[in-house]
Structure 1
Amino acid sequence: MRFTIHFLLFILSITSSLYSVANETIKTELLAVANENRLLQYYENGENKGPSIEILEAILKEAQLEAKVAFMPWARAFLTAKTQPNTLILSMIRTPEREHSFHWITQVSHATRVFISLKNKPESYVDSMQQAKQKLIAVVLGSAGYNELISNGFSDKKNLYVVADAELMMTLLENERVDLVYEDPHNVLNILNRRGKTDTAIRYKEIAPENERISYIAISKPTDLEIVNRLQQAARKFEKTAEYLRLVLE
């Protein structure tokens, strides 16, 4: 009888210990990394703002998880999320090259990538990849746009001016130090408007299906699968709400 009681106590202590470890794992604070984009996510007046932030917060709340948000240059955000466990990334275009390096949580926005020039520089306008290869193009290091251009034969030694973020990219275009930027025109116009350059007109070829992209919240591959599952299940639930539809189309 004494052996049975001791054995039961032993089992209970092991079970309690395992529960404690499991509970601690789930309560692990996550890190969410991102590049600032006023259309998607940004930091202002001590607060994280933007539709992607709101989607992230809703999913975390549903999953009963927490995450600290850190803004940084895109290349560093991407490397951090690719290599560090428990790291979310906002808002990343899903590509075949990235597919197996992350767990994908939910869509957060629709974007486009086109060659954009200043309207007062008609000689800079292009309507094909081949024409663009004869121009100098600003593009964000490590972005999906950068990878697309590299895979299509562009080179930072010949026709790419590689920068850390879209703000610097636009400064180069405004100052006519580059002919083109490869970016979403909505983001370009947003940056110009915030700078008070509402009279600066841009030009680009009409957007076609091949220019369209979808960006996601994703999480690093080494992350505990229980955390991944919680986030994905919470995302599926939130995706059924009117609030999600409003935010993803905002």
Structure 2
Amino acid sequence: MMKQGIILLVILLLLLRSNVMAEKIVFAIVEDFPPYQYVEKGQATGIDVDVLREACKQLGLDSEFRVLPWKRILKNAKEGRVTAIPSLLYKEERTTFLYFGTEPTHINTDSIMARKGSSIKVSKLDDLKNKVVGVIRGYSYGPAFDSYQGLKKEICDDHSVLIRILNKGRIDMAVASEMPFRFNCKKLGLQDRFETVYVISQHPTYTGFSKKALGKRGEAMAEKFSKMLRQLKANGFFQKTETKYLR
């Protein structure tokens, strides 16, 4: 009788343990996309990492951030080896293997930046004629800007070079994705030197959840995260996290 009681107790404890163990969401991120996701001192960090880790905590989920090359991220999501991909542009072809939530993780903004006090005003691309504008090699800023013929472009290898020559006055303006630009300004101690004078384009990005990994639960999971993202924006956590990386 006692033996049966012990067996029942062990079974009960195992059942309780399985109920207590939280589901883990494995996010696949890239190594170098600051300030959203990057690796520092061997650890995944960035705005996406902090926000999604907090979202998981609030939802009673465990989180893991796995750093992978971009092509492997997509492949692993298709195969169900990872649960989710943050900071994705919505594309119809991606809906074949991912569920997208309704709330953006963040908005990518491509802007024209100038030195504060320069008196530069831009209301349309034609205002850039005869100005020297810095761009980053290999980047696209949308078809309207990329195909515009009236520009004198100074091509830079990375954000740090772009920011330095703008600060020294060697170019009139710089075109960049605004958040990475501001993140690199902070690293260089130049975070208060520049201002946005024109917004070229804005694109919302989302967290996509693997259909293979989650099955039919994925759609509900995507919406749970959307709801939590809205809460984190409403209660100030999102804005506080952005400030941490940009100021």
Same fold (TM over 0.5): yes
Cα distance in 2 between the residues matched to 1:80 and 1:131:
42
Unaligned runs of at least 5 residues, structure 1: 1-25
Cα distance in 1 between the residues matched to 2:86 and 2:166:
25
| 1:148 CA displacement | 1.3
Q: Structure 2 residue aligned with 1:214, among 204, 215, 218? A: 204
Equivalent residue pairs, number: 206
Deviations 1:162-189 (A, max 9, x none): 75x5445434534656543223556544
Runs of at least 4 residues of structure 1 off by over 6 A? none
Q: Structure 1 residue aligned with 2:53, among 42, 50, 57? A: 57
Q: Is the 8 A contact 1:41 1:52 kept in 2?
A: yes
**Is 1:235 aligned to 2:236, yes or no?**
no
Partner in structure 1 of residue 176 of structure 2: 183
Residues 68-217 of structure 1 mapped to structure 2, 5 A cutoff: 68-70=65-67, 77=70, 79-82=71-74, 84-85=76-77, 86=82, 88-92=84-88, 94=89, 98-101=91-94, 103=98, 104-105=100-101, 106-110=103-107, 112-119=109-116, 126-132=122-128, 135-139=132-136, 141=138, 146-149=140-143, 153-154=147-148, 159=153, 161=155, 163=157, 166-174=159-167, 178-183=171-176, 185=178, 187-197=180-190, 201-205=193-197, 212-217=202-207
State percent identity of aligned pairs: 13
| 1:107 CA displacement | 2.2
Cα distance in 1 between the residues matched to 2:133 and 2:145:
17
Q: Is the 8 A contact 2:26 2:83 kept in 1?
A: no
TM-score computed with the length of structure 2 as normaliser: 0.56
**Cα root mean square deviation, aligned:** 4.5
Cα distance in 1 between the residues matched to 2:222 and 2:189:
40
Q: Is the 8 A contact 2:32 2:39 kept in 1?
A: no
Cα distance in 2 between the residues matched to 1:55 and 1:81:
20
Cα distance in 2 between the residues matched to 1:127 and 1:233:
37
Q: Structure 2 residue aligned with 1:246, among 227, 236, 240? A: 236
TM-score computed with the length of structure 1 as normaliser: 0.56
**Greater strand share, structure number:** 2
Q: Is the 8 A contact 1:115 1:180 kept in 2?
A: yes
CA distance 1:189–1:175, change in 2 (3 Å): same
Cα distance in 1 between the residues matched to 2:87 and 2:154:
23
- Give the secondary structure class of the aligned counterpart of 1:101: helix
